[in-house]
Structures are given as structure tokens and as C-alpha cells.
Structure 1
């Protein structure tokens, strides 16, 4: 099983989760993070670290978030690994909790 970064990370992109990952499975895009499912070891460390509560086990994805399983896998092939926490975008708090953010995903 893998963990999946979902909709609420878009435009929030808090990076608290990347520092606790023991296998460096997070990849960074312009306004979103993803988890490489081939690298994730299901350690559960990242999930509680996400201030936006955007990380879920693949078996517990909320309804409507299933598309993010494939999206994480696809984008992790193209985006670089991130291992160090960075400041969140200045408007992250404004975007946290807003629904249906997939349209704002920058690839």
C-alpha cells in the first residue's frame, strides 16, 4: 500500500511531511507535492505531519479523490525529489480547505 497526496495540497504545498519520510518518496511540483508509490514503504510518518490533512492511505481515499492515486504515480516520474522542508506559499492558509482545486494544479 502507498500513501497519496490529495486535492487539498494544491496551492497549499506545506512540506512538513518531506522531512519525516525515511525513503525520500516525495516529489515537488510548482504548487503540489506527490508521493512515488514505488518508493513509499507505508511507514505512516507523513500523514500526521500534513497541516492540510491532504495525505491518505490509498485504501482510505475520500470519495472523489481516487484520481490522485494515478496522478501521484504519474507526476512522481517527472518531478524532482524533495527532502527538505521549505516555507509554504504566502497564500497557503487561504487555499487550505477549499474544495475542487484540481483545476489549479500546475504541472
Structure 2
């Protein structure tokens, strides 16, 4: 098992999760974060830290595409270990439907 970041992180990117991760397995895209499934130790400390409730265990039904997306982009995006500022419109984007199709960017973030 691993944890995965799902679509509600897109354009929310609160980043509370990165500072509690004991193995630094978060990677930063332009408008979302992902978890490297091979580095995640399944401790679960990140899940309750996410204000957008975008982090879920991959054992939940229907998360296969998120496991694939997290695996792919954690290999391409820079590691992030320090919380940055959330986007200015993060609160209003929280819970918006269809964010993967409408807003996802494959561009890397700045990392740290």
C-alpha cells in the first residue's frame, strides 16, 4: 500500500503534507503535489494534514489512475520538503469538480 495525491490538490496545493512526511516523498508540480509510491512508507501522517482531503490510501476503489499519475510525475518533478504558499484562489478551488481535465499541468514546480 501507498498513499496517493488525487485531483482535489490541483490548484489548491496547500502543502501542509510536505512538512510532516518523515521520508520526504512529495514532489511538486506547477499546480499540484504527488507522492512517490516507492518512497512512501505508508505511515499515513500526511492524510489528515491535507485541508483539501486530496491524499488517500491507494487501497480505496478507483484510485488506479492516481497511482499511475503519482508514479509518473514523482519521477519527473522536483522534491519538496518545505511548505510554500498555497495559490491565492486555493480556498475557492477546493472541491471543484473535474480539476484533472480542466486544470492539470504536467509542468514541474520549483521544489526546494
* Cα root mean square deviation, aligned: 0.9
Match of 1:56 in 2: 56
Write out the 4+ residue segments of structure 1 that deviate beyond 3 Å after TM superposition: none
Matched, 1:82 2:80: yes
TM-score (norm 1): 0.95
Q: What is the SS of the residue equivalent to 1:89?
A: coil
Distance 2:97 2:38 in 1: 28
Matched, 1:4 2:1: no
Structure 2 regions of 5+ residues with no counterpart?
A: 107-112
Structure 1 regions of 5+ residues with no counterpart?
A: none
How far the C-alpha of 1:72 sits from its partner, in A, is 0.3
Q: What is the SS of the residue equivalent to 2:18?
A: helix
Distance 1:91 1:54 in 2: 16
Q: What is the SS of the residue equivalent to 1:78?
A: coil
TM-score (norm 2): 0.90
What is the number of residues matched between the two proteins? 105
Q: What is the SS of the residue equivalent to 1:56?
A: strand
